[in-house]
Structure 1
Amino acid sequence: MEAFHFATSSDLNELTVHVRIDRLDGHQKPVPYSELLKRPDLRHRASNISPHSELYVTAQIWADSKPLTVPVQTAYKSFKNARIWNEWLSLPVTYANLPASAQLSITVWDLSPAEDKDSNLHAIPFGGTTIPLFDKDNTLQKGRQRCRLHRFKAADGLSNTTTPWVIPPARKSRKDAVQEDTVNEQIAEMQRLEELLKKQEMGDIPQNQWLDALVFKKMMKIRNEALKAEATALNRRNRVQSNGTNGETAHNSDEELFYLDIELPRFDHSIVFTDVEYPPPPVSDIKLPTESDIRLRPPPEVSFGPGIGNGYGDADAGRLIRIYDPEIGRRVNPAEDKHRELMRSQQTDSLDRDRKPNVHVRDKLNLLMAKGPLEEITSHERDEIWKFRYYLLRDKRALTKFVKCVNWKNEREARQAAPLLEKWAEVDVDDALELLGPQFDHPVVRSYAVERLKKADDEELQLYLLQLVQALKYEADGEGDDSSLARFLVTRAANSFTLGNFLHWYLMVEISDLSSDQAPEHRALFSKVEYDFMVELEKTHQGEETRKMFKRQGELLTVLARISKEVRFGGGDRPAKIARLKKALGDPRNDLVSFDPLPLPLDPAIMVNGVYPDDCTVLKSSLLPMVLNFKTTFNTKYPIIFKTGDDLRQDQLVIQIITLMDQLLKKENLDLKLTPYRILATSTSAGAFQFIPSMSLAAAVQKHKGSLLAYLRANNPDDTAPLGVRKEAMDTYIKSCAGYCVITYLLGVGDRHLDNLLISPSGAFFHVDFGYILGRDPKPYAPQMKLCREMIEGMGGADHPNYLSFKQYSFTAWSTLRKSANLLLNLFALMKEANIPDIKVEREGSVRKVEQRMWLGKGEAEAGREFEKLIEESMGDRLAGVIDWAHDFMQYWKK
């Protein structure tokens, strides 16, 4: 297909609609004396007095049977031999604002000193015509147009107009067709000559001045003859129809045929209609009437105007009118908004300072303060919080609820509320993180949250850094120029190399995300923050050196990514790929064997100065990740896995949450021997993670004849200990199993099988490969908690006391993490707009899924019973064993 060039109507946002009124063609018959006797006012009409009388033209745009503009009129013109205006009219609307149903209604007006009996005006319609501005293909009409004029009718712009510019031909009998052959030939010849004239005007046919004058004279003669022939044929058909119906006289059925020539602007390309794509209306939280309520009431009676179709095929649908009420889309009821504003305007600070709640109200406030960050606060509860705001100043839990009850867009309320934030009891970090969410866009609120974060040390801040980078998207200004959060992150990162390292790479990954899920304004925002970070670094003592370090890190990762792709896409089997990897690492051009000490991006506390080319391998995986051993400045090895072709940001988020949960558990003196290995996404398709010497449960079971206990006994033998396993190793195994069972359940980690469950020689059990989280799983009927038969067998079986210890550790861990539910939920809430696969599936529901697995609505005792039931169900899930067997079977055939 050849290329088709066109422009859209929305691009013509500064060009108004124009039309040129050219000439009027037709022959007017004299009015019979019998008609003049009945209508003496007709003898005074200008068109009846002279065939070239002064007429004027009005043009107006209509759409959907309603006028879109005011009419525009031609200037006065005196005619001599023909009615030729040759005048351009400009209508007060641009092409960009035209709807697809826009029509141009043009009326030619006659004048009479005597008032018209029908309209009581001196202007009488000589004839009218209506032409759509867009054709059936939604393309703008252009060039010369010949419009049929309907005598004695003013043009209407109705959807079903009575004055169309083209009248479709009526069905004729064979006899009529033979009689009109000559007429059709004349009309066809006239149309052919007009097409040639259009081509000449467009420059397709060269001009010849003297020859064109002769041709034009001949064309006018052919046009007049064709017009007379068409009028004669039309009147002949009208006589036959009138004689066959009511026997009217011939002259009463005679019809005068007139055509109005107009010209529309020409463009170099076709102009196709495009409409503005408006965002969908917001989802309302106002309760709408149910279908049963609607059925009880009769539908409204709606009378449509003339020419307005209901647009529906159903006959009864014409009684209904469908509109969108903008108030329905409000997040709160507008009446309640007004009521709250009136009530708060009457309250004074002097009275509210001394207001104390009674016992009943105090209990209600305590229940309200216990609500989670995702629970809605009713309008009545908002009023109660505002009413007792001074009483609640001592309760740090009440601050986020108070912020939610304030209408920050109301200047008076904002002025009253802002000073109270400084007087409030200092909130915890989890509440400060909630104030950085998308629903809090007022700079005063976000600045208060940042002030609280400033009191956190670098180690704690690093735990939330991934979410704080995403929280930049919710800054009100959208560019980061006046963002308190951006200034805080840049300042702290410039003074801490570890924070700066991770901030730099978090920002670089977001900047490199060119997918449609990353908005261009967000990429610009992250670029601005990265630029400000580099500028701030130059102000510090080691800033220039730090910038060079980041540049060298980028060069190192670029070389590793190139080698990984060469190994991955190069031919040969796995030994050939390993040989190719060793050769590339040892190539002097890559400068990897030895280089100046450099902080490892994955773990900036480790200084590396080379790679061991002979101590590397390629794993058996679809993406063929590389296992590399870096040489540290302490002459030790630091193994990592470098991977290309996969976005590791989801795995990075899970490991960050596991690291945070490990810290929360240790604060409660509960060390579950977790293994939150380090992971860093360096781009949207590459990344590295720490390599932990371990073995998959599938390999361990296969090596030790189906017994995980035999694996533990072989690596940690102790003949004096129960089950023949050293006590420290068994404790590590039981605790780590409990910790990962609880954490993977809370995060909804899916696709669990024996190949992504690992165990180290020390007995530490851990999970890898978090491609499915938040309840998603590629396998049907997957258990909520992964607790397979092999894991329980490693403890000594379900009847051994070790299994009881496992259940106790699991419940204690789950109960401890429930206490930090607000922190975990707020962290996931800040990640709602992140470009992470399993969050993109359901952005609003992702946080809810974590909340549901914490069972926050249940008490401690009830939740404990339910959690124990969950463990027993997961242990006895035979379907999970079938899934593991099917996975092993498929892996066997893949080999």
Structure 2
Amino acid sequence: MSGNEFRFFLSCDINLPVTFRVERLEGNLPAAKTLDSEVDSTAEVRRPELYVECTLYIDGAPFGLPIRTRLEFTGSSYCWNELITLSTKYRDLTANSQLAFTVWDVSCGKIEGLIGGGTIHLFNMKKQLKTGKHKLRLWPGKEADGSIHTTTPGKVPKEERGEVERLEKLVNKYERGQIQRVDWLDRLAFKAMEKIKERESGRNGSSHLYLVVDFCSFEHRVVFQESGANFFIPSPIAATNELVTVWDPEVGKINPSEHKQLKLARSLTRGIIDRDLKPSSTERKSIQRILKYPPTRTLSGEERQLLWKFRFSLMSEKRALTKFLRCVEWSDVQEAKQALELMARWEMIDVCDALELLSPVFESEEVRAYAVSVLERADDEELQCYLLQLVQALRFERSDKSRLSHFLVQRSLRNIELASFLRWYVAVELHDPTYAKRFYCTYEILEENMMKQLGAGVTGNEDGFKLWQSLVRQTELTAQLCSVMKDVRNVRGGTQKKIEKLRQLLSGLLSELTYFEEPIRSPLAPGILIAGIVPSESSIFKSALHPLRLTFRTAIGGSCKIIFKKGDDIRQDQLVVQMVSLMDRLLKLENLDLHLTPYRVLATGHDEGMLEFIPSSSLAQILSEHRSIISYLQKFHPDEDGPFGITATCLETFIKSCAGYSVITYILGIGDRHLDNLLLRDDGRLFHVDFGFILGRDPKPFPPPMKLCKEMVEAMGGAESQYYTRFKSYCCEAYNILRKSSNLILNLFHLMAGSNIPDIASDPEKGILKLQEKFRLDLDDEECIHFFQDLINESVSALFPQMVETIHRWAQYWR
């Protein structure tokens, strides 16, 4: 931004209550008090029980009653993580408004002990409302003084400021969006900052106490405006690099003329006239253009008015319902009533559009109930494809016992796989403090209804109680595996010693894991009954977290292998593999089987989970041992008469799987691709694993649009071969098929907006827009073919990623 650029900000006329968050207490507390002050030195010593008392002062006088909140001790510090809301609104503040914080120790049970207090101004020297985190200096033994010339200023004196304070100030700017975010660089910076903080705290051992307070932020900077004050813009000659605050009283307000016109156009008398209106050819083209908008597109005022005007003539067009409902002014009782009447008579929409109606955009309970009624038409296989997102949609419901919650439970009672996955999806979300009660309510409804059922489930002869107990035993199994993993990690020595300890634990002290008393339904595939673990075939992966590779014997005499992880959040992997499975289903519905490998993934906690083990080798290992992919495939599928000495079926499988994953990883923006997380099965199927970076995030600089290394192209005969041409043909065909279902995929990601998945939670709106951009909905099918072919050529010719791959291989060698 140039020095002569000006920015207009909002005035302080905000009709919202003052809110902030007391985050934590830093520093060394005074010595803990005894249980009774009159008892001798041998009396029991208790940890201080701290309370923070907050009072708002306006122009030096207290305004409203003080608020007291307790600081919880979390094991290493005192924290409190709930929002405090004052009865005062921002518009009632003056330029001299202050918050006075006093910390009390009430652990003695008799007389309150004063720890200290500090005061902070709500506006800075430029009369801008403070936002973000601020560290207040507490004055020991003093109660906070909120007078204009306070004796307990919370501002840290200059002589006490050091490198840590400077960095905290920069972090505050970063969190407010004033410093550009660069993911890979930010992670390095934050790690370096933690080391500096540890070094400074160990060196200084400061005896001062600080209270960290987090103020809420607004879309625009808020500036205090005195009544009748005149603001002027200085001449560019005298301008500096600082922003100039200019008060604009009309920013964010509704134009009264437009609002009046809108109300007249939507009046009840107009409703009679609108019934017979038919759009002209120009209006019809505009409507058809609007109906093709992705679900993430916000309609303009003119577009909303156009759809409302011709709402009666659009009732036979099922695609138009979601767009029409976005046009409704739901605060208008009469208009909302008319919209619901039309919705009931509208042409029945598809399941894809019903998912859109469950997004946070639609708050009406009637609309959400209508969406559930459409979902009731989906079969169990299709419903399972969306189950993860439907559980996340419970966050957007108006009540804990919603229509959606009851629908999911009722459908689960008829299908044990749905019941098992629903139970796990809900149980994992119990760690979310905001919505834990809601998810627990759904969990209880499922438990209560299942235990009432008789003859439910896949076998038809089990009662509900036994079925529910079989699901509960899944949790007991994961708890036992966590215990085993903890013991294995504590073993000193290399991987081989840990493997020996694992097998010893499985077959010795915890022998109940070798042979279960009763078969347990596999959490990954509830239709399969597992009867125990085979210790001799179980092992540990060479990794920092030491994931377990376990072989389970099934009740019918077979076996299945799973990977169990602890200490890693695999919910993002679960989402990506679910999308791969969905896209595989969409492609097969169009008679295009690209031999994908959507292995099963299930998060059983916020830091643990199971993955299906697929026998395969990484491309890094294959190239190291066999020099080329072709040599590896020749070992398993030799054919002297076939292309490159392998069977035509095997080569075709390889080409198709490469095409499928190239398209999917591009659409989902999957990053951190290297030869260790590209795996190849002995039948020629290539597939990807480890999805720690999605939606465009990548720890490596300048990543190619898709991971297509030269070794993969060489296995197809080179860039000039007919097989490489066939690969590009499969890519373009798959891309156009998935573009037809772009609304479905976008709706599913929109329902994940409230989840705790890292790459979505950081900025849901931005992530969904990135996903939408990958579909290139502005192009037709023929234009997309040329676009995607150019994309493939760009990825193959990218030299920089090859250099990064070499560096990564070196890092793996020395690990």
**TM-score using structure 2 length:** 0.72
- Displacement of 1:2: 4.0
Partner of 2:446: 533
Given candidates 502, 507, 513, the residue that maps to 2:426 is 507
Partner of 2:475: 554
Query: 1:291-332 deviations in whole A, cap 9, x for unaligned?
Result: xxxxxxxx997279xxxxxxxxx999xxx987686x7457x7
Partner of 1:654: 576
1:259-298 equivalences under 5 Å are: 279-281=216-218
Given candidates 278, 285, 295, the residue that maps to 1:373 is 295
AA paired with 1:819?
K
Tell me if structure 2 keeps the 8 A contact 1:10–1:275.
Answer: no
Query: 1:21-66 deviations in whole A, cap 9, x for unaligned?
Result: xxxxxxxxxxxxxxxxxxxxxxxxxxxxxxxxxxxxxxxxx94399
Given candidates 630, 655, 659, the residue that maps to 2:552 is 630
Tell me if structure 2 keeps the 8 A contact 1:600–1:607.
Answer: yes
Tell me if structure 2 keeps the 8 A contact 1:612–1:631.
Answer: yes
For 2:211 and 2:802, the matched residues in 1 are separated by: 57
Tell me if structure 2 keeps the 8 A contact 1:585–1:592.
Answer: yes
Tell me if structure 2 keeps the 8 A contact 1:134–1:140.
Answer: no
1:737-752 equivalences under 5 Å are: 737-752=658-673
Query: 1:200-249 deviations in whole A, cap 9, x for unaligned?
Result: xxxxxxxxxxxxxxxxxxxxxxxxxxxxxxxxxxxxxxxxxxxxxxxxxx
Given candidates 406, 428, 432, the residue that maps to 2:354 is 432
AA paired with 1:374?
T
The aligned length equals 634
Given candidates 537, 542, 564, the residue that maps to 1:620 is 542
Partner of 1:344: 266
- State the SS of the aligned residue for 1:688: strand
Aligned pair in 2 of structure 1 residues 779, 98: CA closer, same or farther (>3 Å)?
closer
**TM-score using structure 1 length:** 0.66
For 2:60 and 2:257, the matched residues in 1 are separated by: 35
Tell me if structure 2 keeps the 8 A contact 1:783–1:874.
Answer: yes
Aligned pair in 2 of structure 1 residues 64, 458: CA closer, same or farther (>3 Å)?
same
Query: 1:456-488 deviations in whole A, cap 9, x for unaligned?
Result: 0111001001111111111123xx13x111111
Partner of 1:796: 717
- Displacement of 1:341: 2.2
Partner of 2:697: 776
Partner of 2:407: 488
User: Which structure's CA Rg is the greater one?
Assistant: 1
Query: 1:575-625 deviations in whole A, cap 9, x for unaligned?
Result: 111101111111253401111111101111111111111111111222111
Any unmatched runs of 5+ in structure 1? 13-61, 70-92, 104-132, 146-156, 165-271, 289-298, 305-313
Tell me if structure 1 keeps the 8 A contact 2:677–2:689.
Answer: yes
Aligned pair in 2 of structure 1 residues 710, 388: CA closer, same or farther (>3 Å)?
same
Given candidates 664, 674, 678, the residue that maps to 1:753 is 674
For 1:403 and 1:508, the matched residues in 2 are separated by: 33
AA paired with 1:489?
L
- State the SS of the aligned residue for 2:693: coil
AA paired with 2:714?
E
Q: What's the Cα RMSD here?
A: 3.6
Query: 1:182-210 deviations in whole A, cap 9, x for unaligned?
Result: xxxxxxxxxxxxxxxxxxxxxxxxxxxxx
For 1:669 and 1:645, the matched residues in 2 are separated by: 40
Query: 1:648-705 deviations in whole A, cap 9, x for unaligned?
Result: 100000000000000000000000000000010111111111111111111111221x
- Displacement of 1:337: 3.9
Partner of 2:364: 442
Aligned pair in 2 of structure 1 residues 684, 6: CA closer, same or farther (>3 Å)?
closer
For 1:134 and 1:699, the matched residues in 2 are separated by: 62
Given candidates 693, 713, 717, the residue that maps to 2:638 is 717
AA paired with 1:848?
L
My pick for the range that moved more, 134-143 or 816-825, is 134-143
For 2:550 and 2:472, the matched residues in 1 are separated by: 21
For 1:364 and 1:539, the matched residues in 2 are separated by: 54
Tell me if structure 1 keeps the 8 A contact 2:55–2:63.
Answer: no
Aligned pair in 2 of structure 1 residues 863, 581: CA closer, same or farther (>3 Å)?
same
| 2:503 aligned with 1:582 | yes
AA paired with 2:689?
V
- Displacement of 1:567: 1.6
- Displacement of 1:564: 1.6
| 2:393 aligned with 1:471 | yes
| 2:229 aligned with 1:302 | yes
Query: 1:80-135 deviations in whole A, cap 9, x for unaligned?
Result: xxxxxxxxxxxxx99xx9999589xxxxxxxxxxxxxxxxxxxxxxxxxxxxx989
Aligned pair in 2 of structure 1 residues 637, 8: CA closer, same or farther (>3 Å)?
closer
Aligned pair in 2 of structure 1 residues 158, 804: CA closer, same or farther (>3 Å)?
closer
1:39-438 equivalences under 5 Å are: 63-64=58-59, 279-281=216-218, 302=229, 328-329=251-252, 336-438=258-360
Query: 1:145-170 deviations in whole A, cap 9, x for unaligned?
Result: 9xxxxxxxxxxx99699xx9xxxxxx
- State the SS of the aligned residue for 1:681: strand
1:24-35 equivalences under 5 Å are: none
Tell me if structure 1 keeps the 8 A contact 2:316–2:346.
Answer: yes
Partner of 2:76: none
Partner of 1:811: 732
AA paired with 1:493?
S
Partner of 2:530: 608
Partner of 2:623: 701
Tell me if structure 2 keeps the 8 A contact 1:463–1:660.
Answer: yes
My pick for the range that moved more, 530-539 or 585-594, is 585-594
For 2:670 and 2:120, the matched residues in 1 are separated by: 56
Partner of 1:197: none
For 2:119 and 2:722, the matched residues in 1 are separated by: 82
Partner of 1:523: 436
For 2:327 and 2:643, the matched residues in 1 are separated by: 59
For 1:846 and 1:7, the matched residues in 2 are separated by: 40
Query: 1:841-886 deviations in whole A, cap 9, x for unaligned?
Result: 3221110111111111223222221211110111111212111111
AA paired with 2:773?
Q
For 2:520 and 2:635, the matched residues in 1 are separated by: 39
Tell me if structure 2 keeps the 8 A contact 1:495–1:540.
Answer: no
Partner of 1:497: 416
For 1:8 and 1:277, the matched residues in 2 are separated by: 14
For 2:50 and 2:476, the matched residues in 1 are separated by: 45
Tell me if structure 2 keeps the 8 A contact 1:501–1:550.
Answer: yes
- State the SS of the aligned residue for 2:308: helix
Given candidates 731, 755, 765, the residue that maps to 1:834 is 755
Aligned pair in 2 of structure 1 residues 338, 461: CA closer, same or farther (>3 Å)?
farther
- Displacement of 1:626: 1.1
Aligned pair in 2 of structure 1 residues 2, 867: CA closer, same or farther (>3 Å)?
closer
Given candidates 541, 550, 561, the residue that maps to 1:639 is 561
For 1:786 and 1:523, the matched residues in 2 are separated by: 39
Given candidates 775, 788, 804, the residue that maps to 1:867 is 788
Tell me if structure 2 keeps the 8 A contact 1:797–1:803.
Answer: yes
For 1:321 and 1:791, the matched residues in 2 are separated by: 57
Aligned pair in 2 of structure 1 residues 428, 761: CA closer, same or farther (>3 Å)?
same
AA paired with 1:754?
L
For 1:342 and 1:403, the matched residues in 2 are separated by: 19
For 1:5 and 1:535, the matched residues in 2 are separated by: 40
AA paired with 2:803?
V
- Displacement of 1:396: 1.0
For 1:422 and 1:102, the matched residues in 2 are separated by: 53
- Displacement of 1:827: 0.7
Tell me if structure 1 keeps the 8 A contact 2:671–2:693.
Answer: yes
- State the SS of the aligned residue for 1:882: helix
Query: 1:778-811 deviations in whole A, cap 9, x for unaligned?
Result: 1111211100011111112222211011000000
